[in-house]
Amino acid sequence: MGKKLYLIGFLLATATLTACGPSQAELDAQATEVAADVFATQTAEAPTDTPTPSSTPTPTPTITPTPTITPTPPPDLSRAVITRDDLPPGFDELPKELLDSMGASPPSETYFAFFEEEPFHLIMGLPILLPTRADQLEFDIELGDVEVFISDFTAGMGVVAEDAIEEPKLIPAAEGVGDVSAGLTMVVGEEDAILAMRVDIVAFRRGKIGAFIMVAYIEGDSPLVSVVDLANLLDARIVEEFPQDVVAASATDLGGQEIRIAVENAYPPFCYIDPESGEALGWDYEVGRAICEKLNCVPVFVEATWAGLFEAVAAGEYDVSFNGIIYSPERSQVVQFGEPYFVFGQVILIRADDARPQLADEESLVASNLNIGALLGSLDEDTAVQLFGEERVIGFEQFAAPIDALIAGEIDSVIFDEISAIFFMLENPGRLKISFTVNRDQFLAPIYTPTSDLVASFNWAMEELFLEGTMDEICERWFFRPCAP
């Protein structure tokens, strides 16, 4: 998503100059300079994978990829764009050839741009395909980070957000567009600029299609058309042209179908057998039943081993598995991931009775001289060294050793991924607590066979559970906090 916002900002800068009419020499000079920066950035920037999870109570299996599935042709997104007929009279199309001649080639053939000379308005945007769960998750997370949203956009304009942006505000009405969305309004213009521009931008995702749309006009003027109205129009067009991205009514009633849910039964708090009662317990059981109650299906919990779980789901032995599975791009090549249900990262664990203010938050711990335990060679150790300094980090070779040392009072705190922290809190009831969260950049999501037709149904049911608060209530019971960050 960052590159798309970067390019949208770049196109705004070049398109604004074009519509306002400076000399071609000035345009060529500016376009060449900015385009060079864009292409240099894209060339130098290596793809970023989702961070590798920290150590967890269950080992990661070696995954053998399943045979390649012949992909379906990508949708023709040119059927889902804003046209001049959608706009008030007076708007003209900004020719793509003009931007091409300036070195500002549109990022895709589905790019659209229109301008009105008096009063000056610029409308532009594009739909993009997000074919994989990796693409969709990255899009959703960046969409929820206002600072990233602003910085990526303004970087494309060749300006620094802190110097060039005034009054960055969310557009609340944009939150209802698509499956996930965000909107920002801001004033763009450096101190020596003759005119400041008001820029309203909405980005959203509907199924596997993401979209950006922007309306820019002179600060102080009223917009001739609302960016939210245009976003809703574009969203409706996507739904109309690509109905496969909308959950049909029939998909919400599975007619009593049995759904085989793979459970390891050895991984609290997700799924385990209570040693005293012999009862099967955990988050997976509660959520599986709640989803099937929504979908009119019958959950059949089938015990499975972690080793070979991904291959078994990919082969269709099970319909779905939750099992605390962390999303990764590598795993998404084997199985299909559904919508994430738990966002997590690294946390600081302390003793439950430790009330020292130095442990209350990250800033206080950084400023203190207290130590932090971490598993040697883990991502947790890397983060601890980066935040607190190598001299304050105490490494341990065994997975549970930092926790044993913490409970014994030998160290002040421990850094772990939140899933492992929850596991240790369940293993040591009343003795540990999470003091604060360091970051949240990993996801738990259910897995399905690559061609499963259950994904849309389960995504719909989980969204319903989230909206009514049931999902967060279940997470509170098993994860000690709501599912959402």
pLDDT band at 80 (very low <50, low <70, confident <90, very high): confident
Give the per-residue pLDDT at 18. Answer: 42
33 and 131, same structural domain? Answer: yes
413 and 321, same structural domain? Answer: no
* 143/149 Cα distance (integer angstroms): 6
* 76: in domain: yes
* 252/243 Cα distance (integer angstroms): 15
Which tokens go with 109? 């053939």
The label of the residue with tokens 């991502």 reads 379
Of residues 317, 419, 339, the one with CA closest to residue 56: 419
* 485: in domain: no
464 and 352, same structural domain? Answer: no
Going from the C-alpha of 360 to that of each of 281, 345, 349, 419, the distances in angstroms are 33, 18, 11, 20
Above 60 in pLDDT, residue 451?
yes
* 399: in domain: yes
Q: Which domain holds residue 294?
A: 249-343+443-479
| Weakest mean pLDDT among 134-148, 215-229, 250-264, 373-387 | 134-148
214 and 147, same structural domain? Answer: yes
* 413/432 Cα distance (integer angstroms): 10
Give the per-residue pLDDT at 453. Answer: 83
Report the domain count for the chain.
3
Instruction: Give mean pLDDT, residues 294-323.
Output: 95
Domain end, chosen from 218, 245, 272, is at: 245
DSSP state of 429: T
Instruction: Give mean pLDDT, residues 28-52.
Output: 36
260 and 169, same structural domain? Answer: no
* 267/282 Cα distance (integer angstroms): 9
* 471: in domain: yes
414 and 317, same structural domain? Answer: no
405 and 280, same structural domain? Answer: no
* 207: in domain: yes
392 and 295, same structural domain? Answer: no
pLDDT band at 311 (very low <50, low <70, confident <90, very high): very high
* 225/188 Cα distance (integer angstroms): 19
* 78: in domain: yes
283 and 153, same structural domain? Answer: no
Going from the C-alpha of 353 to that of each of 7, 359, 430, 480, the distances in angstroms are 51, 12, 9, 17
For 382-414, write each residue's pLDDT tens digit: 899 999 999 999 999 888 899 999 999 999 999
Which CATH number covers residue 374? Answer: 3.40.190.10
Side-chain-side CA neighbours of 410 within 13 Å: the count stands at: 11
128 and 142, same structural domain? Answer: yes
Query: Pick the residue with more confidence: 6 or 187?
Result: 187
Above 90 in pLDDT, residue 91?
yes
Domain end, chosen from 230, 245, 260, is at: 245
Give the per-residue pLDDT at 287. Answer: 97
321 and 385, same structural domain? Answer: no
* 138/286 Cα distance (integer angstroms): 28
* 133: in domain: yes
Q: Where are the beta strands (DSSP E) in 207-256?
A: 209-218
140 and 270, same structural domain? Answer: no
Q: Which amino acid is at 102?
A: M
Give the per-residue pLDDT at 280. Answer: 95
* 179/411 Cα distance (integer angstroms): 45
Of residues 441, 440, 4, 48, the one with CA closest to residue 203: 4
Greatest C-alpha distance within the chain? 82
Distance of CA 53 to the CA centre of its chain: 16
Domain end, chosen from 245, 280, 309, is at: 245
* 355/367 Cα distance (integer angstroms): 16
* 484: in domain: no
| Weakest mean pLDDT among 28-32, 102-106, 160-164, 307-311 | 28-32
Question: β-strands 346-351, 414-417: how paired?
Answer: antiparallel
What is the sign, positive or negative, of the torsion defined by CA atoms of 417, 304, 334, 296? negative
Instruction: Give mean pLDDT, residues 347-363.
Output: 94
